[in-house]
Amino acid sequence: MEQLLIDLAAVLAAASPLVIAAMGETLSERAGVINLSLDGTMLLSAMTGFAVALITGNLILGFIAAALVGALVAAVLGLFSLTLGQSQTAVGFVLALLCTDLSSFLGAPFARVPGPSVPFTPIPVLSDLPVFGPLFFRHDPVIYASLLIVPFTAFLLYGTRLGLIVRALGERPAAVYARGVDVTRWRYAMLIAGGALVGIAGAAFSLDLKQGWSYRHTFGSGWIVLAIVIFGGWRPWRVALGCYLFAALELVATRSQSALPDIPTQIVQVAPFVLMILVLALVNLAASPAAARQVMRLPAFWQRPLLAAINRLRATAPAALGQPFERP
Amino acid sequence: MLWLRQLPDRYTRMRLDRLKPLASLTRPLLALLAAFVLTTIALLSSGVAPLEAYRLILFGAFSTPVRLSDMIMLAAPLLLCSVGLSITFAGGLYNLGVEGQMIAGAIAAMVPLRLWPDWPPLLLWLLAGLSGAAGGALWALLIGGLRRYAGVSEIFAGLGMNFLASGLALYLVLGPWRRQTSASLSGTDLLPRELWLPTVDRLRLAPAAPVIALIALVIVWWALTKTRWGLEVRAVGLNPAAAARLGIVTARRMAETLAACGALAGTAGMLQVVAVHHALIPNISSGIGLLGLLVALLARADPRWLLPIAVAFAAFTVGSIQLPLTLGIDSAIAGVLQGALVLFALATRARR
Amino acid sequence: MRVRFVRWPLLFITLLSLVLTACGSQPAAAPTAAPTTAPAESTEEFTFGMVLVGPINDGGWNQAHYEAAQYVVEKVPGVKFIYIDKVNPADRPNVKVEQAIEELIGQGARLIITNSAEFADGTNIAAAAHPDVYFIHASGDKVLTGEAPPNVRNLMGRMEYGKMIAGCAAALTTENGKLAYLGPLIDPETRRLVNSTYLGARYCWENYRGRSADELAFKVTWIGFWFNIPGVTLDPTKVANDFINEGYDVILSGIDTTEGIVEANKATQAGKRVFAVPYDFKGACAQGEAVCLGVPYFNWGPDYKRLVELARSGQWEPAWEWTGPNWSNINDPDTSMIGFVKGPALSAENAAKLDEFIAKLADGSLNLFTGPLYYQDGSVFVPEGQVADDKTIWYTQQLLAGIEGQSAP
Amino acid sequence: MHIAVEHLTKRFGAVCANDRLTISFAAGQIHGVLGENGAGKSTLMKLLAGYLQPDEGRILFDHAPRRLSGPGDALAVGVGMVHQEPLDIPAFTALENLLCAAPPGVFRSRRAAQTALQELAERLGFPVDPAARLDQLTVGQRQQIEIMRLLLCGARVLILDEPTTGITAAQARSLFTALRQIAAEGRTVLFVSHKLEEVAELCHTVTVLRNGQVVPPGQLPMPQPQEYLLSLMFGEAGAEPPIYRPLPLIDAPPVWELHRVTARSGTLQLVDLNHRFAAGRIIGLAGLDGSGQQVLLRLLAGQLAPDRGRVLVNGRDLTGAGPIAFRQAGIEYLPADRLRDGMIGALSLTDHFALLQGRGALVDRRAAEEAARQAIAEYQIKATPITPIAALSGGNQQRAMLALVPPDARGILAEQPTRGLDVASARAIWGRLQARRDAGCCVIFASPDLDEIMEYSDEVIVCFAGRIGPPIPRALLSSARLAELIGGVGFDALVEAVA
């Protein structure tokens, strides 16, 4: 039991950069813009955050620099796709590669150099609570932030009028335009805000969870976050669940070495990535019309609960996701 | 251009006509300039003399026969990948899985080489080529399957398959195909010398590799522009719904484009094994597939432009290896230059 | 409208560069990779080059090599040092060892040191192509197996002793008898180092703590390479954290970098009590003074100095060397290949016991490779009453019984 | 609010959509705006609602000139526009639509918004569920919600663009009642339509646009003689009477036969269909949007596989064979959205014919170009063989799509075949379709325009809430009866009578 608690807390901690990045991406995709540059952005901001914190000795400055880098890359993506009308996918992909190489180049002097890290800060009183204490209140500020950002994003999207506008931007920008909102400006805003979060997530890696900087330090995390956002159906809680699932898979992978003596170590590193995509595929498969047709063949007794489950699994993308906005 | 208005009408028109080709060059030149500005800022920020770095990046690949041959041996698989990607781009697919297809091809090519090392080399090379192409194609078809049956976009299916392929390569290198002495990340045991594709004396240049790549380029160019298949693929890429209405089996064409791209990437992987590394190494694809995507994006999947761009990009990459050796800076700056070029080229394109 | 974009200028640049090259306007400063004969000035200045697998400032294996080279430059007049670091598939995916070696030779290096077991093939290929250049392959055994060309030497330190001391320090300090070893990749070298650590720990656990060997948990998790390669290896940070979460209270590092001590330090700040024993580099304790029990390290300087002088004088002959510590003072920077610096976290009482242990190793009264020793699968490593010879130790087949972890990849 | 335009001009390239318009609309009245397709009605409305900015001229609200920078600006002034396809957010509930980007201060809270909505709905006689998602509602209901949203957000001028397309007769009646009340409260209503009867019934004044100009200059008070308005709209040529034709033989061979077919698409399920569609006639599918016409068309085109039952084409069982097999059996599907689903915008007519050649590894460009040339001449398409389809006008695209139907087609399924076309193009298209029918084709088409259904169908099938009615010979049907059936009035009786 105690071990389980420790492991759950470890999963919460390990997923924190993913959660922050995924919330950022959820915001921008909800507003209708795919930020495919995520992987590169995270690398570049992880490197910048680490370098700035190392040079200035100030962690806060590091996080700020990382957020700025994330916002900047998002702004470039916005400039090219929203203003200049190029394909979001193409620009995002190119930016992902460009930022990756930029991080390798500019980050070379900081590779595998020891540096500062976010200090452990248990919350007094609360951390002594049974169960909840070790689970939620014995972490560091980055992890607390990741725990808070999920309800915050959910509230922003579903509980506020701003959230209505953001979701409408992704569903039908023309309708938002008709209501007098500057679609492009708001899409920029969401994209940049999301990008800043992605930047912070990068710094959460290099200054906290995977402390330090090395070539392609956050390996593939950005791509997996993009997949998790789809898995989560663009809904903050489910997206967060996806992040925790992935972190749990990684933990299991690390542990599995002793249990599976015939499997080379290096395989288990890749396994969570493959499994995550597989889960995404399975969820999509289960929620597909073909599955619904299969269910229809079953006895009536099973149909209702199964169809309900399928409907719950089904996640529709924002209708205008990735589409350029054209004035009606 | 104000001064032109004062000239007699006939003269003006003539001058403007002559200026037209120049005008069409301004946008690309701007893109080029912007890319160099960005790269220069990066270089300056790390305290390097940009001119020296550019000299190395741009000309480093041509300075000695050894480097020239290295460049060609990089350009060949790069060209193969980007030629394959020009098919999938024509079919409207972002095949990010090209990296994994290359690895799958390399693994598949290793199978006959390991099974029957005593067979005549010529036969083995042929077998390796076929099996490499088949392996890449199969890997690509899996992506097609995930897209069609599980509704996973080909971008993420491709990425997932990339992870899987590199995991598989690692497993083989460290597991069943490990070195006789001990497993090593540096790869499997080297192939017997006689199975290496013949190289030009003292150089690492295997002429067969560029020849194969060029043949693939010509065939694909012909197939995309002259054949019904090419027209149908383009129709599917432009508008799958309408293409289906006109009687084209879109799912099949998409699968075919993926398979064709996978086969070419697999061939590239095979070349990496028999002509470059002479073993299966974990990082056998070395990012060539993704670089191929950049090439294809810059060439706008137009086969005629693939060759010069692939050569230029290969030259950048090979030239940039000089940077850490002589200037002590990271070679990733070549990637920055390549990425910035494509990015700004996208930006200067007319809005669709 | 159809716009041609950057493609024309790109073609132009490519052509231009081809033309420039063809016209012989090759930049004079560009290093050539063609095989060179010894430069004339070699009698005055001797250049030696080093190809390193990781960065020179990793606080571990590579930094130890780099500082040894600096030691040589300091101690031997007229010697110049050049290097290429981070030669590995992750940092430089398109650079092969041969290429790096050729660049160094092109810049005038007469002796090349390569510092990773991964470099064995590349070193041999380059050595065969450049018979007039001397090569030291550190940590390799191709001379022993007879596969290396005659201009190659192997050099390695007997880190087994360092690891035994490390294991002993860990066993003296642990509160719950749970020791974790952060392993790199699995090969004979790493197996024998893990085994040595375990033997040292078990000896001190039984003899100084007076506990039974059954109560000692010793677990290895291999990350898959000498340091973290994202996407290829396990993340050592995660592995170290996992050790801590599972309750291990001493983390012994076998990898080139310092994640083990960094995470132990973090956990200690977070209120747990976790100790660490880093590896390779004398200054590694700096990453977490409060938790550092000490560090076994390599001191390549004296041997490199000796071999550089040997190469310079032309008295080179192939050899496989396995150098031990200078037992009279294992921390003597000018003579001892292997050393152990005690860390601040080692209590004075335990430090005294450790000194006693070292003294026993030094005077030969204690040889931990004495039988009976068994492998994990129960087969015999060293029969009862015998002492393992160098070759048996060098080619250790498995982890020893009592260790939890993979023996083979 | 009084609203006026002076010398208002808007050009799109060489086309002058609005040519120095000067009109004024008094407050408290319903103003009709008439005109055929392309006369400039939509442009004028978009200028008034801020979606477009004029090149010249100005707009005065209560006699004060004001430049509108966007629709939000217009709404702030008090102008709201209801689009033909309501410009709302289908994934949101009615209440969320109301709240989304509402002007600051209008609704203090969710609860306040809900109360306001329910009060207004009661006053206007619109039934509304604030928690219903719009994609579950009919176009008519969405339109009602959109009207209420604009009014609650302070619209004093309400512009409705072809509001009666795609809604039931009952909904239209309740809309008219509500509009009268809105006008009576002192607001201005602009009612854009090409349906004379509706304008006559509802409007106090009428403005007729032709070729971007007001004819005759200024507003006309209603009522006006219908023939006069028609001549204003279409010029002196007037409307030609449609061509009628006696029904062909009843025992013509069936093109499609449905045996006990059950199919589902989304939330809509068609149950136990038994139909035969005979060759040589045009069958019109009437019904509200989403009543099952699209599902039936997709079922007949093979795009939708039935859950149960059998589908026969020309006597061959093609159940679940897929659209390609249906196409090979001579079934041609012409989608409503020509550029999205019908043809490939970037390719030319020649390319399309090349695609249709269907055999040989290489493309025979000469033959394809020849075929394209022939089609251009025969169908009077304004294009060259190598013009990209996307560069063609809507009417020419539709002709091109028809020209691409192979001559041996046995069945043509057309979804809104004249959508967005002007009268002349629509006539030409129908001429072609009738020629196909006479050549032995079975043409099935769906259209929201009841006049079109009445004018061109030999038989009419009414779809109501996912149920497919029996075919009714055109001669036995009146417009009023059809409108009732579409709204569900007497639908059960009809189905039972046939059974």
Chain B nearest-CA distance from D336, in A, is 12
Residue B293, classified by CB atoms within 10 Å of its CB into exposed (0-12), middle (13-18) or buried (19+), is buried
Q: Is the model's pLDDT at D404 over the cut of 80?
A: yes
Tell me the pLDDT band of C11, cut-offs 50, 70 and 90: low
| Secondary structure of D202-258 as H, E, C letters | HCCEEEEEECCEECCCCCEECCCCHHHHHHHHHCCCCCCCCCCCCCCCCCCCEEEEE
* Length of chain D in terms of residues written: 499
Closest CA to D16 of D210, D208, D212, D207: D212
| Region at C146 (left for phi over 0; alpha for psi -120 to 50; beta for the rest) | left
Residues facing residue D411 across a β-bridge: D331, D442
Which of B235, B241, B249 is opposite residue D355, by nearest beta carbon? B235
Find residues 58-97 of chain B whose CB sits inside 8 Å of chain A: 94, 96
Q: What dihedral angle (degrees, nearest 10) is formed by the CA atoms of B69, B74, B79, B84?
A: 150
Chain D residue with CA closest to B241: the answer is: D341
Which residues of chain C does B74 touch, with a Cβ-Cβ cutoff of 8 Å? 94
| Mean pLDDT value across residues C115-130 | 88
Residue pair A82/A184 in contact by the 8 Å Cβ criterion: yes
pLDDT attached to residue A69? 96
Residue pair B102/B289 in contact by the 8 Å Cβ criterion: yes
Number of neighbouring beta carbons within 10 Å of residue B114: 15
Per-residue pLDDT of chain A (328 residues; tens, 9 = 90+): 778 888 899 899 999 999 999 999 999 999 999 999 999 999 999 999 999 999 999 999 999 999 999 999 999 999 999 988 888 999 999 999 999 999 988 988 887 777 888 888 888 888 888 888 888 888 889 999 999 999 999 999 998 999 999 999 999 999 999 998 899 999 999 999 999 999 999 999 999 888 888 888 888 889 889 989 988 889 999 999 999 999 998 888 877 776 776 677 667 777 788 888 888 888 888 877 777 777 777 777 777 788 777 777 777 788 888 888 887 7
Domain span at residue A169?
2-313
Q: Is the model's pLDDT at D135 over the cut of 90?
A: no
Condensed to tens digits (0 to 9), the pLDDT of residues B265-289 reads 999 999 999 998 888 988 888 889 9
Condensed to tens digits (0 to 9), the pLDDT of residues C53-104 reads 888 877 788 889 999 999 999 999 899 999 888 888 767 766 778 888 988 8
| Mean pLDDT value across residues B314-319 | 88
Find residues 182-201 of chain B whose CB sits inside 8 Å of chain A: 183, 185
Interface test with B, best of A86, A262, A266 (most B CBs within 10 A): A266
Which of C1, C14, C118 is opposite residue B185, by nearest beta carbon? C118
Q: In the 8-state DSSP scheme, what is residue C341?
A: E
For the ranges C238-247, C296-305, D236-245, which has the lowest average pLDDT?
D236-245
Which residues of chain B does A93 touch, with a Cβ-Cβ cutoff of 8 Å? 94, 96, 293, 297
Tell me the pLDDT band of C34, cut-offs 50, 70 and 90: very low
CA distance linking residue A273 with residue C138, whole number of Å: 36
| Secondary structure of C239-264 as H, E, C letters | HHHHHHHCCCCEEEECCCCCHHHHHH
CA distance linking residue D161 with residue C372, whole number of Å: 96
Tell me the pLDDT band of B1, cut-offs 50, 70 and 90: very low
Find residues 34-53 of chain B whose CB sits inside 8 Å of chain C: 35
Q: How far does CA A10 lie from the centroid of its chain?
A: 18
Chain D residue with CA closest to B240: the answer is: D341
Tell me the pLDDT band of B25, cut-offs 50, 70 and 90: low
Number of structural domains found in chain A: 1
Closest CA to D117 of D102, D129, D105: D129
Residue D365, classified by CB atoms within 10 Å of its CB into exposed (0-12), middle (13-18) or buried (19+), is middle
CA atoms within 13 A on the CB side of B110: 28
Question: Is residue A45, in this structure, part of any structural domain at all?
Answer: yes
Average pLDDT of chain D, as a whole number = 84
A293 touches chain D (CB under 8 A): yes
Which of C7, C100, C225 is opposite residue B28, by nearest beta carbon? C7
Closest CA to C117 of C191, C188, C66: C188
Chain D nearest-CA distance from B139, in A, is 27
pLDDT attached to residue C191? 92
CA distance linking residue A195 with residue A33, whole number of Å: 11
Closest CA to C221 of A13, A268, A249: A268
CA distance linking residue D342 with residue D413, whole number of Å: 12
Q: With CB atoms and an 8 Å threshold, state whether D355 touches B246.
A: yes
**Helices D394-403 and D365-379 meet at what angle, rounded to 10?**
120
B226 touches chain D (CB under 8 A): yes
Tell me the pLDDT band of B159, cut-offs 50, 70 and 90: confident
For the ranges A98-107, C105-114, D142-151, D208-217, which has the lowest average pLDDT?
D208-217
Q: What dihedral angle (degrees, nearest 10) is formed by the CA atoms of A145, A148, A150, A156?
A: -110
Find residues 65-124 of chain B whose CB sits inside 8 Å of chain C: 66-68, 70, 74
Fold classified for B50-349: ABC transporter involved in vitamin B12 uptake, BtuC (1.10.3470)
Longest Cα–Cα distance of chain D, Å, equals 70
Average pLDDT of chain C, as a whole number = 84
Tell me the residue type at C55.
P
Condensed to tens digits (0 to 9), the pLDDT of residues A265-315 reads 667 777 788 888 888 888 888 877 777 777 777 777 777 788 777 777 777
For the ranges A146-160, B22-36, B141-155, B335-349, which has the lowest average pLDDT?
B22-36
Alpha-helical runs (H) found in chain B: 2-5, 9-45, 50-59, 65-90, 98-115, 121-150, 154-174, 208-226, 228-238, 240-245, 250-271, 288-298, 303-320, 322, 333-348
Q: Is the model's pLDDT at D162 over the cut of 90?
A: no
For the ranges C39-53, C66-80, C319-333, D159-173, which has the lowest average pLDDT?
C39-53
Q: What dihedral angle (degrees, nearest 10) is formed by the CA atoms of A227, A231, A237, A240?
A: -40
Condensed to tens digits (0 to 9), the pLDDT of residues B202-212 reads 777 888 899 99
Tell me the pLDDT band of C31, cut-offs 50, 70 and 90: very low
Task: Provide the sign of the torsion angle of the four alpha carbons C231, C234, C239, C240, taken in this order.
Answer: negative
pLDDT attached to residue C111? 94
Closest CA to C42 of C137, C125, C127, C107: C107
| Mean pLDDT value across residues B180-201 | 78
CA distances C184 to A206, C187, C256, C295, D305, Å, are: 22, 9, 8, 17, 57
Number of neighbouring beta carbons within 10 Å of residue C329: 13
Interface test with B, best of C8, C36, C86, C94 (most B CBs within 10 A): C94
Q: Is the model's pLDDT at D310 over the cut of 80?
A: yes
* Length of chain A in terms of residues written: 328
User: What share of chain D in percent tops pLDDT 90?
Assistant: 15
Task: Provide the sign of the torsion angle of the four alpha carbons B134, B136, B138, B141, taken in this order.
Answer: negative
Find residues 267-306 of chain A whose CB sits inside 8 Å of chain C: 268-270
Structure token digits, residue D40: 């400039």
Query: CB neighbours of C392 closer than 8 A, spacing ≥ 6?
Result: C381, C382
Pairing of strands D3-12, D56-61: antiparallel
Q: What dihedral angle (degrees, nearest 10) is formed by the CA atoms of A70, A73, A75, A76?
A: 180
Condensed to tens digits (0 to 9), the pLDDT of residues D50-98 reads 999 999 999 998 888 988 888 888 988 899 999 877 889 988 999 999 9
Residues facing residue D270 across a β-bridge: D263
Number of neighbouring beta carbons within 10 Å of residue D490: 13
Question: Is residue A24, in this structure, part of any structural domain at all?
Answer: yes
Using DSSP's 3-state secondary structure scheme, residue D40 falls into: coil
CA distance linking residue B330 with residue B57, whole number of Å: 12
pLDDT attached to residue C12? 55
CA distance linking residue B21 with residue B19, whole number of Å: 6
Q: Is the model's pLDDT at C168 over the cut of 80?
A: yes
Q: How far does CA C206 lie from the centroid of its chain?
A: 29
| Mean pLDDT value across residues D465-488 | 80
Structure token digits, residue B133: 């192409």
CA distance linking residue C148 with residue C142, whole number of Å: 5
What is the set of domains in chain C, with CATH numbers?
41-157+300-336 (3.40.50.2300), 160-297+338-394 (3.40.50.2300)
Find residues 19-38 of chain A whose CB sits inside 8 Å of chain B: 36
Structure token digits, residue B274: 């028999």
CA distance linking residue C218 with residue C179, whole number of Å: 5
CATH of the domain at A290: 1.10.3470
CA distance linking residue B206 with residue B74, whole number of Å: 11
Interface test with B, best of C6, C114, C118, C222 (most B CBs within 10 A): C6
More confident call, C224 vs B98: B98
Structure token digits, residue A288: 């597909």
A117 touches chain B (CB under 8 A): no
This complex has an ipTM of 0.82
pLDDT attached to residue C32? 38
Burial C307-328, CB ≥16 within 10 A → b, else e: bbebbbeeebebebbbbebbee
Burial A101-130, CB ≥16 within 10 A → b, else e: bbbbbbbbbbbbbbbbbbebbbeeeebeee
